[in-house]
Each structure stands twice: as structure tokens, then as C-alpha cells.
Amino acid sequence: MSALSERPDNPVVGIPLPHESAALHVTGEALYTDDLVGRIAGALHAWPVQAPHAHAMVTALRTAPAYRVPGVVRVLTAEDVPGINDAGVKHDEPLFPTEVMFHGHAVCWVLGETQEAARLGAAAVEVDYEPLPSLVTVQEAIAAESFQGTPRSLSRGDAATALESAAHVFEGEFEFAGQEHFYLETHVSLALVDESGQVLVHSSTQHPSETQEIVGHVLGVPSHEVTVQCLRMGGAFGGKEMQPHGYAAIAALGATLTGRPVRLRLNRTQDITMSGKRHGFHSTWRAGFDDEGHIVALEATLTADGGWSLDLSEPVLARALCHIDNAYWVPNIRVDGRVARTNKTSQTAFRGFGGPQGMLVMEDLLGRCAPLLGIDPLELRRRNFYQQNQTTPYGQPVRQADRLAACWDQVASSGEVARRRAEIADFNRRHPHTKRGLAMTPVKFGISFNLTAFNQAGALVHVYKDGSVLINHGGTEMGQGLHTKMLQVAATALGLPLSRVRLAPTRTDKVPNTSATAASSGADLNGAAIKNACEQIRERLAQVAGGVLGISPNDVRIEDGVVRGLSPASGEIGWNELVNTAYHQRVQLWAAGFYRTEGLHWDPNVMQGEPFKYFANGVAAAEVEVDGFTGAYTLRRVDIVHDVGDSLSPLIDIGQIEGGFVQGAGWLTLEDLRWDTSDGPNRGRLATQAASTYKLPSFSEMPDDFRVTLLEKAHEEGAVYGSKAVGEPPLMLAFSVREALREAAAAFGPAGTSVVLGCPATPEAVYWALDKARTPRAPEPSDAGTEPAMAGER
């Protein structure tokens, strides 16, 4: 076996290739879960009966009227569940609830011959409710002490004492919103039952094994009687890690009871009103600095808005606590975290998984405090960077601090940041009603699941007698290019051209007990498992080739489908001939691969250990222009240098960096979730239920000048072919956009103005901030945040 990170000569990894399904995507020929229903006869369609209250008890449920609707076949209720009436891994999410916990909660489901029949049947179901008091905002939950799960604390040193002696102390309060996933493909499942009662569920899920487990619990059957397949997803971003399980269980339950295939596909409004989102957070903080601007202490309390059930809120909070430091050394720190229970959708995983929320608190306080300290924000950030082998607050050494500095310096140099900032200052002096700003922000993001057990993966590789290769692995494809990378890994490991390798859909009966495709670890884990399987096969074939060529198996080399020895005199044979020879010698031509990430240890109770295999690093510089009359802005230019190690597939990685950055900018500047917080009949209703009311980033928000560079000479020891993860870290590069907006808003006021900027920083929020900067006595809107107070200067 070769070392995990070792690359052979002329590898297929590292070649910039398009997405393996790119042509299918753009021609519309790519099949998704819902496309399969057209190939299956007699499928029933599911429709939910949604509650019109944020919190209520179901006092009566009358299904008889639904059966009078033509085409209605079955109404599914709690009485129909043969197993456990719960869709959550924490057993706190009743599949058919008697207590409605959020506006739009499904209390039962109707199955119809057509979707329209199911819809009309759902409308005919009669439900009586007893409304109960509800908590819609995180502030209401805090006031009511409505919390769930286990609170966590992270600490190092003595923050309280250090704050007492710090030269400069500031405090503030900061609340920021969640984010809707708005994947192109909504939640969908298609369930079938065969003649022996075996259940097959096609599901748009990031975690097929967990979907399998939940379906088995609901049906009261063991996992081997349930198979889950994920063909591909039309986007997921974390929203399909936990949330698909209940929908798959509904479809499987319906198929089991009726003996017919059942298709469940949410429309856009249903998906937005029923599925979880990124956690919004409320934070309070006190930060101390010395006279040179070094952070000496930080105290903070983070409260995550978990919604009605736990879902993944506890690990999201843990990752937020572990990332509040971002790229900065904080010698004395104390951060307390808790999860609020509110009557909203159960908030869930979203790209970054709590990391963005923790890091945003730090970037926001640095942006606020820099003017009060009289230090340039770029210099304040750079001055506080981790130095080599300093440790995080949870005890993990930062072994590649030099890479973070290299990314920063490269952006500053290639982006001509100093020259452009001078030009911006001149522009701002000459334009009283339009201002520009340029900010740089870093990213240091830990890669691995915080839950150590999830850091494992399996793969199944088949070599057929004709020399063709089929790969199965436990990762799921949601458009991120994982399958493309896995094909390149397999071709490299076997020494074959890419055309000889095909990849099969992800299925639980091929690779069991898989972890979710999440935590940016899909390529790390599954790539290593594939490499392990391929190398098992290759070692067996080397024995055969050694015999054919008359050389030591150790001297056999396979490249581009040709098998040779170290010396030209040994001759060569083709891959197909070698495989055929091996078959006739009864040599096993398939292998199950496995990988577990080594070197991890984590104690969640004391929040100490080394939970991450490594840190991904990146730096972005963003330049914006703001209109002083409206707060409207344009993103003029973005420069990014990002560390993906030795890239497995550069074109895929650059696309992920661009996409992640834009999605992050959407969260921070555009996407504004609004719930009805009134005491009226629609209390708790999500008002932003469609693209007409929930603004997503589009081409018009893309920077005119967008420059993305991969950090060179960044080979990562201990990761598959020297690569690094790319999925989540680039999202946090978008902090640079928000900080640039802050600087532009501050430019409307006198020098040294500290700007409090709402989040998301919509044009409205930017206008409030810039108006406050130029008219300091103007009243501040309640949701724009709290201005940092000077808690003391010594």
C-alpha cells in the first residue's frame, strides 16, 4: 500500500475536468429522484395536512371526508405506524404529532391516485386545534428560559481576570439570521415494496444509512429489510442530512400499507415552511485588547435558535464554539453556548455547520472595535493571526499558520490592496453621496466530523473480466463534484484512463453504515476508502503481472492501462489481458475498501481534544460601492486565495470556492428570513415562502471582477493524494463582503466611526448604518445590533 497522500507519476487526479454529469445537467437529461416516478406504474402521491398554528394541541382528527374525494386511497395517521412514531435521531420528532410545534407542521398525510386528488383530500381532512402560547423569536425563548439539549462551554486561561486588566475593553450584542437552503430540488422520496416485503426507497438524501435506519424504526423492521438509494441531488447544502428521513418514512409507510409505490415530493412552499434552515444566533460578548491591538481576552454567550426539536443543533453549537476564534490567537477565552427552543421549523445543518456563526461573531467584533482602537481593520486582523503551533481554545495545535499568512500576503499582493485602498480613499473624498470600501478577512476551518465515530467510510470496487471498473462508495452527489473526484481517485489508484471507470448510485445494500456526506469530508473519507479498495486489487494483480513478466511484483507498474516492469527489457502487457489472466487464475477482482481518519480525539463534555484532521485556510478581499441615498450596493471586485491542498480536481474546486463564496454573501447580505411575530392568527407563519419574498443571490450579485486562485505548494500529508476539503470553508470568505460594506458605511461619517451593521446587511440595513454614521444622533433600528460600548480603558 502506498502512503495515503503519495501521488504516482502522471496521475488522473489533479487534472482540471468538468463535472461528470455536466452534460446531463445542462441538457436536462440528468435523472433525479422525482424523475423515476414516470418510469413506475401505479404510483400514489402524498400530500400533507399542515397546521395553521405555531403551537397547538390536536384535539380531533376526522379523515372520513378525505375518503369522499375521488382518487383518495389512504390517509396516513399515527395509528398506522407499526414501529416508532418518530423521525428524529433524538426521538423528539413525532412523525404524526398530537402537539403542533410550528406553523405548517404536518399532522397527517393523504395518498391519492394523482397529486391533485391528494391535495384535495388533504384540504378535506378536518382537524380541531387548541392553540397554545408560542415562542417565535430567540429573544422570547431566552426570556422564557426555553432551552433544549445540553449547554456547552469552552474555556482557556482566565478571561474574567484578563478583561479586568486589559487596556481596552469593549462589549456588544449581536443577533444574526438563519438561511434557507433553497436547493433547486425540493425534498422527495419514492418508495416501493417487493413481493417479499423488502422496501426500496429512492431518496434525495445526504445520509442514506440514517434514512434507512429511520425508515426501519418507523416500519418496525431491521435495516436489512430497507434499502435506500440516492441517485443524485439537485442541491442539498446540509438541508438533506437529517430532514429527508421523515419524508422517506412517510413514503415507505404508504407503500407498505397499500402495496403500491408512493411518491412524496414537496412543492416549494411546503419545502420552505416544513424544512429546517441555518440556525440564527444571538450573541453577547466582551473583548479585551492591549495597547498594540492584540486580543487578550474574550467572553461570549452564543444562543442558537434550534426551532422545535434538537435535530443537529447540539453539534452545530459545538462547532460554533470551536470556530469563534477563526484565525486569531485568543489567550484567555470563555464561551458559553446553548440551544433555544422556539416554535419554528427545526433548524438543521447548513454549509459550514455552525462554523460560520461562530466566526461571524469574531469578525463582527473586530470590525466594530478596530476604529475604536484606532487601528486599521486589516492590520488588526493580521496582527492577531495564529502563529505556528499555537493551540486553539480546545487544545488543537495550529500546524499550518504559515499557510494562512501566505494566503493573506498573496491576496494583498496580487489584489494590489494597498494601491486600491488609497484610490478608494481618494474616491470617497470626492464623492459625498457614494462611498467605497475594501476589506480582507481570513478563514481557518476545521475538517472532520466533531463526532469522531462519523470519520469513517467504505467503498466497493469491482473489476470485471473485460477490464472495466465499477465503483460504489458511501458518499452522495449533490452537485458538488464528489463523484468526479472519486472517479479520478479510482483511475489514479488503478493506473487506468478515466474512461475505464464508472460510478454507481449510492446504495445502502452496497456500502453499509455510511456517514453523511457532510462536514466537507466527502472526498477525504470516500476517496481514501476507494484508494484502499483499488490498492487491494492492484496488489493482487501485481502478483499475477510479476508472474507473466517474470519480474518481482514490487517492480510492476501500471500506468494508463499498460502494465510494465521497471526495466524496458521486462516487456509489457495490457490491463485487459492482465485482468483476464487473473480471472483464470481465480484471483479476486473486487474489494471492499475502508478508511478511518487517524489521530482524532474529542471529549464533548469538556470541549477539549483534537477533533479535526487539519484546517482549511483561505483569504478574501472584497470591494464594494454603496449609494448613500438608498443603501444599495454593488460588489465590484473579489480576490480569493484558498488552500485546497494538492487539488484532486482543480476545476471542481474553483467552482466550489466561487459557489460557496456567493452563497455566503447571500446569507450575510441578502437572504432575510421573516416570521410573523405578531399576536394575530398568523403568528409563527414564515412570511418569506418563495423566491418572490426571499431574495437569493443571482448573476446580478456576482462581482464584475472575480479572481480565485488555489494556494500552490500546499500538499497535505495524511489526506488522499495530498488534497484538502473544499465544500464548506469558502462560504466564510464572504465575511469580506460584509466588512467592506461596514467600511463603506463608515466612510459617510468622520474618521474613526465604528459602524454597527445588521445581518443580513440588506440595502435597508446598510442605509441605517451609514445614516447613523453621518448623523450620530439618529435613532438606531432595533434589529441593527447593539453598538459596542467602551467597558473600560486603562
Identity of the amino acid at 440: M
d(CA 696, CA 181): 10
Is the pLDDT reported for residue 273 higher than 60?
A: yes
d(CA 356, CA 134): 28
Residues 6+ apart with CB under 8 A from 336: 151, 152, 153, 300, 301, 302
Summarize the confidence of residues 257-272 as an average pLDDT: 98
Q: Which helix (H) or strand (E) holds 595?
A: strand 590-596
Kindly report the average pLDDT of the chain as a whole number.
96
At 68, give phi and psi (nearest 5°): -85, -5
Q: How confident is residue 793, by pLDDT bands cut at 50, 70 and 90?
A: very low
Bin 248: left if φ > 0, else alpha if -120 < ψ < 50, else beta: alpha
Q: Are 490 and 536 in contact (CB under 8 A)?
A: no
Identity of the amino acid at 87: A
Quote the cell numbers at residue 252: 415507505
Beta strand 501-503 pairing with 469-473: parallel
d(CA 271, CA 250): 15
Quote the cell numbers at residue 214: 429511520
Query: What pLDDT does residue 89 have?
Result: 87
The SS3 of residue 50 is: strand
Q: Are 672 and 689 in contact (CB under 8 A)?
A: no
Name the β-bridge partners of 262. 44, 191
Distances (CA, A) of 358 to 30, 304, 387: 37, 10, 21
DSSP for residue 645: B
Quote the cell numbers at residue 504: 454507481
How far out from the chain centre does Cα 555 lie? 44
At 658, give phi and psi (nearest 5°): -60, -50
Name the β-bridge partners of 377. none
* Per-residue pLDDT tens over the stretch 617-646: 999 999 999 999 999 999 999 999 999 999
Is the pLDDT reported for residue 746 higher than 50?
A: yes
Q: Which of 264, 269, 274 is nearest to 243 (CA)?
A: 274
The alpha-helical segments, DSSP class H, found in 351-481 are 355-373, 377-383, 401-414, 417-430
Beta strand 226-230 pairing with 199-203: parallel
Q: Which of 389, 124, 372, 110 is nearest to 258 (CA)?
A: 110
Q: Which helix (H) or strand (E) holds 541?
A: helix 522-549
Query: What pLDDT does residue 190 have?
Result: 98
Q: Are 12 and 498 in contact (CB under 8 A)?
A: yes
Q: Are 371 and 746 in contact (CB under 8 A)?
A: yes
The SS3 of residue 353 is: coil
The SS3 of residue 542 is: helix
Is the pLDDT reported for residue 189 higher than 50?
A: yes
Is the pLDDT reported for residue 785 higher than 70?
A: no
Query: What pLDDT does residue 200 have?
Result: 98
Residue with cell 468538468: 18
Is the pLDDT reported for residue 742 higher than 60?
A: yes
At 276, give phi and psi (nearest 5°): -75, 170
Q: Are 324 and 185 in contact (CB under 8 A)?
A: no
Is the pLDDT reported for residue 781 higher than 70?
A: no
d(CA 698, CA 443): 24
Question: Strands (DSSP E) along 13-105, which ranges?
Answer: 44-50, 56-62, 72-76, 99-100
What is the torsional sign of CA 475, 481, 487, 489?
Answer: negative
d(CA 640, CA 713): 16
Whole-model pTM: value is 0.96
Q: Which helix (H) or strand (E) holds 543?
A: helix 522-549
692, 696, 701, 703 alpha-carbon torsion, rounded to 10°? -170
Quote the cell numbers at residue 329: 490567537
DSSP for residue 514: P
* Per-residue pLDDT tens over the stretch 26-38: 999 999 999 999 9
Question: Strands (DSSP E) along 633-696, which ranges?
Answer: 633-642
The alpha-helical segments, DSSP class H, found in 374-509 are 377-383, 401-414, 417-430, 482-494
At 629, give phi and psi (nearest 5°): -90, -30
Q: Which of 382, 231, 359 is nearest to 283 (CA)?
A: 359
Our CA angle for 493, 210, 73, nearest 5°, is 125
* b/e 142-177 (16+ beta carbons within 10 angstroms → b): beeebbbbeebebbbeebeebbeebbbbbbbebbbb
At 758, give phi and psi (nearest 5°): -65, 165
Helix 575-584 × helix 522-549 angle, to 10°: 80
Residue with cell 437529517: 242
Q: State the catalytic residue, choosing from 299, 314, 728, 743.
A: 728
Q: Are 386 and 327 in contact (CB under 8 A)?
A: yes
Query: What pLDDT does residue 701 have?
Result: 86
d(CA 225, CA 66): 32
d(CA 282, CA 337): 10
Q: Are 268 and 300 in contact (CB under 8 A)?
A: no
Query: What pLDDT does residue 699 have?
Result: 87
In this structure, the number of other CB atoms found within 10 A of the CB of residue 470 comes to 16
DSSP for residue 175: E
Query: What pLDDT does residue 101 have?
Result: 98
DSSP for residue 77: -
539 is catalytic: no
Q: Which of 478, 727, 455 is nearest to 618 (CA)?
A: 727
Summarize the confidence of residues 147-159 as an average pLDDT: 98
Is the pLDDT reported for residue 789 higher than 70?
A: no
Sheet holding 147-156, edge to edge: 147-156, 333-340, 295-305, 281-289, 168-176, 786-793
Q: Which of 268, 249, 262, 255 is nearest to 211 (CA)?
A: 249
d(CA 506, CA 172): 47
